[in-house]
Amino acid sequence: MFDISFFELIVIAVVALVVIGPERLPKVARTAGHLFARMQRYVNDVKADINREMELQELRKLRAEFEQAARGVEDSVRQLASDVRAAENEIQQSVASLADDAQEADAPQASKDAKTEP
């Protein structure tokens, strides 16, 4: 984090001992330690919140992609169902047309048979 060598820490400790004094130095060091620990907890909490937000954003993106894929599948299934219905209607029309043609073919045959029987 900071580029402070061991020698620089010794110089800071000696200056603090001279400026603050030996009787108040332990209390100041304790207070500084508590403040440093509180600062670390705060930084860790902020990092955790940022990570949670990033994961949440990724999950939202994944959900949107999944919903889009589901919509695509649904649209393709609807299109396929529509094509099947159209083919079914076409087959029914063809069958009806063939049935009509067969009845028309049988009708002249029946009238010829009726004329030749008496």
Residue 114 lies in a domain: no
Expressed as residue numbers, the domain containing 44 is: 6-99
pLDDT greater than 70 at residue 115: no
pLDDT tens digits, 6-56: 898 889 888 988 998 889 988 988 999 999 999 999 999 999 999 999 999
**Cβ neighbours of residue 28 closer than 8 Å, sequence gap 6 or more:** 16, 20
Number of separate domains in the chain? 1
Residue 45 lies in a domain: yes
pLDDT greater than 90 at residue 60: yes
Residue 106 lies in a domain: no
CA 55, CA 53: separation in Å to the nearest integer?
5
Residue 113 lies in a domain: no
Residue 116 lies in a domain: no
Residue 12 lies in a domain: yes
Confidence band for 110, pLDDT divided at 50, 70 and 90? low
Which helix (H) or strand (E) covers residue 111, if one does?
helix 25-116
Residue 57 lies in a domain: yes
Residue 17 lies in a domain: yes
Predicted structure pTM score = 0.51
Residue 101 is predicted with a pLDDT of: 83
